Amino acid sequence: MNDRILLAHGSGSKLSHDLIEKILAPPINNPILSRMDDSAVFELSGKLAFTTDSYVVNPIFFPGGNIGRLAVCGTVNDLSMSGAQPLYLSLALIIEEGLEIEELRKIIESVRQTAEEAGVQIVTGDTKVVNRGKADRLFINTAGIGVIATGLDISGSMAREGDKIILSGGIGEHGMAVMSQREGLQFRLPVVSDCAPLNKLVAEMLAVSNNIHSLRDPTRGGLASTLSEFARQSGVGISIEEDKIPIHDGVRGACELLGLDPLYIANEGKLVAAVAPDDAEKVLSVMRKNMYGGQAATIGEVTGERKGRVVLKTRIGSSRILDMPTGEILPRIC
C-alpha cells in the first residue's frame, strides 16, 4: 500500500477499491454500507429531516478535533436542531493528491468514534482525488437523515415573546482553536475546539419540555448571528445580558489579543434555545447534567420591542444593537 494518496486512488481502479475496502470502509462498516451498492437502501416512516454540509477547515487537524469529527458533528447537530433523531449519514471525500494515508486513517477513525458516540451510521459514501494544489489536502461533505417525533415543530421562526434564551456553554472555542493554528498568528490556547455531537443533549431537553420553540447551533458567525436569525425569522425582539454569557478566560484572552469580539466567533458544540418561560428552569437543569451542557445559562429573553433586532445589555448598564457580522472575521491591530 502506498503511503500517499495518488490520482489513481480516485480513478475507479484496483487502487480505488483497495482504498475503500482496506482503509475507508472497515472502520465505519454496517449492514447497509457493506452491501456496497450504488445507493443505500433502508425503510423509514414519519416526518423526516434531511440536511447537508461541506467542511473545508484549515488546518484539517486542530486542538480538540479534526475535519473528520467536525464533518459528523456538523450534520448530526443540524438534524438535532430541527428536533430530529439523527440516523443515517453520507460521507463524501475530495482528497488532494499527496495526502498521507496515515492522516486519512486518523480522520476516518475519528469519523467512526464520533458516529458511534452519536449513535448514527455512515450508510453511503464517495471518494474523489484531485491534482495537487486543486484542493487543500482534504474536503469532506456529509448529508444526514433523521426522524422527527410526531407533534414536534422546532424552528427559528417559532420563538415567542416571553421565551427565555438558553445557551449551552462557553462561546468562541472552536473558532479560536482553529485560528490559533493559522500561519502568521500562532499562539497557545488553554482551550480546545468544542466540536461535539449534541443529539443526546437535545433528546434530554425534549424529554422534559415540549415548549422548546427554537434551537440552533451557532457555528460560523457565532452567537450574534444565530440570535439575529432568530429575531428576524420569528419577527421578535431579543434582549441579551452581556455578563450572563459564559466564556472561557482563554477565549477572552485570545480575543483581547487579536481585537476580536467573541460573540462573532464560531462554535461547533454549542446550541441556543428559545424556551417557554415556565419550562426554562427544568430545561436548564437537565442541560447542566449533560457533559456538553455543564455551563448552560439563561442569557436573555424574547421581547416585543425592537422587532427583528437583538439588543445587548452591557455590563455597565447601557445597551447596544448586536448585529450580524459582515464579511470575514479578521484580527485587527487598531
Partner 1 sequence: MRFIDEFRDVGLAQKLAQKITGISHKPARLMEFCGGHTVAIMRNGIRQLLPPNIEMLSGPGCPVCVTANRDIDKSIALASLPDVTITTFGDMLKVPGSYSNLQKARAEGGDIRIVYSTQDALQIARGNPQQSVIFIGIGFETTAPTIAAAVIQAEKENLKNFFVLCQLKMTPPAMKAILDLGEVDLNGIICPGHVSAIIGTRSYEAYARDYGIACVVAGFEPVDILQAIEMLVIQIENKNPQVEIAYTRGVKPEGNPRALELMHSVFDVAGASWRGIGDIPNSGFKLKEKYARFDADEEFEVELPPVKEAPGCRCGEVLRGIIQPPECKLFRKLCLPENPIGPCMVSSEGTCAAYYQYGDLDE
Partner 2 sequence: MCLAVPVKIISIEGEQAEVDIGGVGRKVSITLTPEARVGDYVLLHTGYAINVLNEEEAQETLNLLERMVEAGESGD
Instruction: Name the residues that contact partner 2, by CB under 8 A.
Output: 186-191, 249-254, 256-257, 259, 332-334
We find the least distance from the C-beta atom of residue 79 to partner 2, in angstroms, to be: 34
Instruction: Work out how close the CB of 172 gets to partner 2 at its nearest, in angstroms, rounded to a whole number.
Output: 12
- Give which of partner 1, partner 2, none residue 178 binds (C-beta under 5 to 8 Å, depending on kind): none
C-alpha grid cell, residue 139: 474536503
User: Residues near 191 by Cβ (< 8 Å), separated by ≥ 6?
Assistant: 170, 173, 176, 177, 248, 250, 251
For partner 1, the binding residue among 18, 102, 249, 281 (CB under 8 A) is 249
- Nearest-CA neighbor of 268 among 198, 166, 164, 323? 198
Residue placing its CB nearer to partner 2 in the complex, 68 or 172: 172
Shortest CA distance to 331 belongs to which of 262, 269, 268? Answer: 262
Residue 313 CB-density burial (10 A; 0-12 exposed, 13-18 middle, 19+ buried): middle
Distance CA 277, CA 165 (A): 9
Name which of partner 2, partner 1, none residue 191 binds, using a CB cut-off of 5 to 8 Å depending on partner kind. Answer: partner 2
Measured CA angle at 160 (ends 221, 268), to 5 deg: 25
Using CB under 8 A as the binding rule, whether residue 184 contacts partner 1 is answered as yes
What backbone phi and psi angles, to 5 degrees, belong to 3?
-95, -5
Tell me the C-alpha distance between 35 and 69, whole Å.
Answer: 24
Residue among 1, 38, 46, 316 that touches partner 1 (CB under 8 A): 316
By CB neighbour count within 10 A (0-12 exposed, 13-18 middle, 19+ buried), where does 3 fall? exposed
- Span from 63-71, 95-103, 184-192, 228-236 in contact with partner 1 (CB under 8 A): 184-192
Total residues at interface with partner 1 (CB under 8 A): 30
C-beta of 95 vs 263, nearer to partner 2: 263
Query: Among 43-51, 280-288, 295-303, 320-328, which window interacts with partner 1 (CB under 8 A)?
Result: 320-328
- Collect all residues with Cβ–Cβ distance below 8 Å to 327 and sequence separation of at least 6: none
Nearer to partner 2, 100 or 249 (CB): 249
> Which does residue 315 bind out of partner 1, partner 2, none, counting CB within 5 to 8 angstroms by kind?
partner 1
Measured from the CB of residue 318, what is the shortest distance to partner 1 in angstroms?
A: 3
- DSSP conformation class of 7: G
Distance CA 121, CA 119 (A): 7
Choose, by CB under 8 A, the member of 14, 133, 151, 332 that binds partner 1: 332
Under the binding rule (CB under 8 A), the answer on residue 133 touching partner 1 is no
**Which of partner 1, partner 2, none does 14 bind, CB closer than 5 to 8 A by kind?**
none
319 binds partner 1 (CB under 8 A): yes
Question: Does 54 engage in binding with partner 1 (CB under 8 A)?
Answer: no
Pairing of strands 319-321, 138-148: unpaired
Q: Which residue has the cell 500517499?
A: 4
Q: Which one of residues 7, 20, 258, 276 is an interface residue with partner 1 (CB under 8 A)?
A: 258
**Residue numbers 3-42 binding partner 1 by CB under 8 A:** none
Strands (E), 242-334: 272-275, 297-303, 310-313, 319-321
| All cell numbers assigned to 131 | 491534482
Q: Footprint of partner 1 on this chain (CB under 8 A)?
A: 183-186, 249, 252-253, 256, 258-259, 261, 306, 311, 314-321, 323, 326-328, 330-334
